[in-house]
Structure 1
Amino acid sequence: MSGHQLVAAVRAGRAHAVREALWAGAGPETEDAGADPLRPLPDGSTPLLRAVISGNAGLTAALLRHAADRLTEEDRAELLACARRWCGTGAEAGLRLATGATGPAVLAAGLRGLTYVDDPAAEELGPAHRAHPDPRVRRVVPSLLHRTRYAYTHPEAWDVLAALARDPDARVRAAVCECLYEFEGREPACADILAGFLGEDDQLVRVKAVSGLALADDPRCVEGARLIGPVDRAEWDSWLLDAAARYVERHHRRAGCPLDPTSA
């Protein structure tokens, strides 16, 4: 697909055609760079910017996946400013997206694209959107908070995560759990947040919370494992399911005691 065809697909709101063009390999590193989402167009825009302007979350997400690692600081600022403007005027203008999504979905797609970019400026967007009225936006916030293997870098990170862990939307809470259950730092706030997920309706969230508590060497994982309920081990990751048992085994070894197979 040529650059002209890509732009036509963006204008028509045909996300499927856009994805086919990009997945076909017509990217900036190939001989035919026409389908590059960041290719400058005669009007000064790019296919990615036009997708954001259109308010189509599907197009925006498709193009961002192929351009996020090449966005400059100027590109990111322009895209986010455009998404915010669309979000603010969409309802007033009565616009409806071809995908049925509304303005916040475009902002969420833009923010999600920035989670692939290692830039401190992008991290500031997390706290700024923690209380956004749309859960699709709040659901991206945990992934915007950068961390090393053992620590979060933003000074407000734990306050933001703790607030989102109490979010009324279950998918937002699940996003927090997803970010924390493999965190290797021994931050007390992390274990407290994970313990709060042990009563979630979503069984996978409960399983991951138990695994995270076990990784944090927190004894609450043992009781949490009992709250998981029946599972079909053939369909689940045994490493996750056995996290509490490994915790018990570690502690018995440290104490020099034989392991009671009924203790976990």
Structure 2
Amino acid sequence: MAEAGLDERLVAAVRAGNAEEVRRLLEAGAAPDTADEDGLPLLCAAIAAYDAEVAEELAMGGADPNRLLPDGSTPLLRAIEGGSPAVVSATLAHDPGPRLRGPAGDRALAAARSWYERSRAATGERTRVPDDEFTYVDELVLDGRTVRAGHGAILTELEWGLGILTPVEELADRAVRYPDWEHVDWSSSVWVLASLRRSKETWTEVAALRRHPDPDHRRFAAHVLWSLTLLEDGKVPSYEAETSDLLARWATEETDARVLAAVLRAWSAEHDHPDMVATGLRYTGHPDAEVRAAVPDCVDGTPLAPEARAALLGLVRDADAGVRGAAGAVLGGHLDGSPDVRQALVRLARDPDEGVRWMAAERLSEGDDHAPEVADALAGLLDEEFQLVRIIAAYGLMRHDDPRTPDAYARIGPLEAGYEDDHRWCALGNWGWERRNGSAGTEE
């Protein structure tokens, strides 16, 4: 028997943005198409608030995205107009096929194309806002209302849901309007090509973009090729050998620094090529820091080649913090007790850049070099503002069985949200419990 007042409580939960409560009430029997005080289904309220989590719960619970509204629109059309790919995907319950059949799909696609052209032509101020955990989108004013300009990503995803194979170059054109890997238009085009449309034909068309006159199109192609490897699941072809050989040639030919950096990163991601170390070494003195920062992963190996080791020891002294951090991260994976590697990581633990110090703390704390200098470097990180660095430093001291561990543990302070499951915090918690209960021992 359903609880009394479920629908009224559902209205309140949607207004409050409480997705967990929305789910609970729907499971208890609340009607997913319950109307708000304005007579519109609650899905419209979640869409208007850009609340993708609540919209998803309502859609998964049975709310109809194609329900005809008094003004002739539907919740889905309102989501498309709003311009948030995350909200559109949530409104479709992350499964567009069943909800885009027939006239509803035709209307949705036409609306997405229309709004894409309008947002492209719009002038005026734009504000960057997050659209989901990993991507951002611009907000702008159209016809007196604020919308998000993610219509390119929406169009890309609707086309795929309707079985339309948009030409690769057209998807690239959409992506490079915002030449940033974290923009929704760029990330959606990459996702469709690298994850959903894997085929020899797609790979060939993406590979052909390396000859495109525009550097951003070439950088987009490198990102797709990189993502083919990262998203490989063993069920569909990854074209790993073809990609590695292509990137090997491309890395020696590319003249644009940003594209070259993207090519080197794509190549060093899970690829094993006999020319990779030599190619990486040729760029250790490149004038662009982004290129130099891509070198360490190219020259990494087991064992580490002598010339690669020498290059990394030079790069950890680079003027650019990103280069130092990248080189230190690779070099720290070979913390084998040799004084030169140890001294390099200890020096990076005192680096003026917070991110570099964080990297050094991780490498020193996880490594098997238990020299006194390493413990001293970790102890020097106990005053870091970022709590996770203090946790990492204390964990490293614990692994060294260092007498400063109790003080380090105390200096972590009250645990901030998000670190409860960190393996280093858990190990420290076990250490503290054993210490309080008189059981000596160190947890690795």
Equivalence map 1:216-227=2 (5 Å): 216-227=400-411
Aligned residues: 224
Find the counterpart in structure 2 of residue 81 from structure 1.
282
Structure 2 gaps of 5+ residues are: 1-202, 229-236
What are the Cα deviations for residues 143-164 of structure 1, in whole angstroms up to 9, with x where unaligned?
332666xx61544112212211
| Pairwise CA distance, 1:173 | 0.9
Q: Which residue of 1 aligns with 2:326?
A: 140
2:317, 2:324 within 8 Å by CA — same for their partners in 1?
yes
Distance in 2 (alpha carbons) for counterparts of 1:210 and 1:127:
26
- Paired with 1:146 and 1:232, the residues of 2 have a C-alpha distance of 27
Aligned-residue offset at 1:66: 4.7
Q: Where in structure 1 are there 5+ consecutive unaligned residues? A: 88-102, 256-264
Matched, 1:237 2:421: yes
- Which residue of the other structure, out of 239, 243, 252, is the alignment partner of 1:27? 239
Amino acid at match of 2:251: L
1:54 corresponds to which letter in structure 2? D
User: Residues 185 and 200 of structure 1: is their aligned pair in 2 closer, same or farther, counting only changes over 3 Å?
Assistant: same
User: Which of 231-240 and 195-204 deviates more?
Assistant: 231-240
User: Alignment identity in percent?
Assistant: 24
Deviation at 1:114? 2.5
Quote how far apart the aligned CAs of 1:12 are: 3.0
After TM superposition, give the deviation of residue 199 of structure 1 in Å: 0.6
Cross-structure match for 1:258: none
Bigger CA radius of gyration: 2
In structure 1, the residue matched to 2:257 is 55
Q: Please say if residues 395 and 425 of structure 2, whose CA atoms lie closer than 8 Å, have aligned partners that are also in contact.
A: yes
Deviation at 1:165, TM superposition (A): 1.3
Out of 110, 123, 126, the position equivalent to 2:295 is 110
Counterpart contact for 2:283–2:291, Cα < 8 Å: no
Change (3 A) 1:219 1:239: farther
Q: CA–CA distance in 2 between the matches of 1:152 and 1:17?
A: 38
Per-residue Cα deviation, 1:188-215 (whole angstroms, up to 9, x for no partner) = 2221111111111111111111111111
Partner in structure 2 of residue 171 of structure 1: 355
Structure 1 residue 21, shift from structure 2 partner: 3.6
Deviations 1:2-21 (A, max 9, x none): 17515236963333332324
Residue 235 of structure 1, CA deviation: 4.6
CA deviation after TM superposition for structure 1 residue 62, in Å: 2.3
Normalised to the residue count of structure 2, the TM-score between the two structures is 0.45
String of CA shifts for 1:124-158, please: whole Å, max 9, x gaps. 2222223211111111232332666xx61544112
**Correspondence for 1:196 among 380, 404, 412:** 380
Aligned partners of 1:22, 1:220: CA distance in 2, in Å?
A: 44
Change in 2 beyond 3 A, CA 1:158/1:78: same
The root-mean-square deviation of aligned C-alpha atoms, in Å, is: 3.0
Q: 1:246 to 1:189 in 2, by over 3 A?
A: farther
Of structures 1 and 2, the one with the larger relative CO (CA 8 A, separation 6+) is 1
The Cα offsets for residues 195-250 of structure 1, whole Å up to 9 and x where unpaired, read as 11111111111111111111111122211122222224665325422434433526
TM-score by length of structure 1 reads 0.71
Three-state SS of the structure 1 residue aligned to 2:245 is coil
Of 240, 248, 273, which residue of structure 2 is paired with 1:70? 273
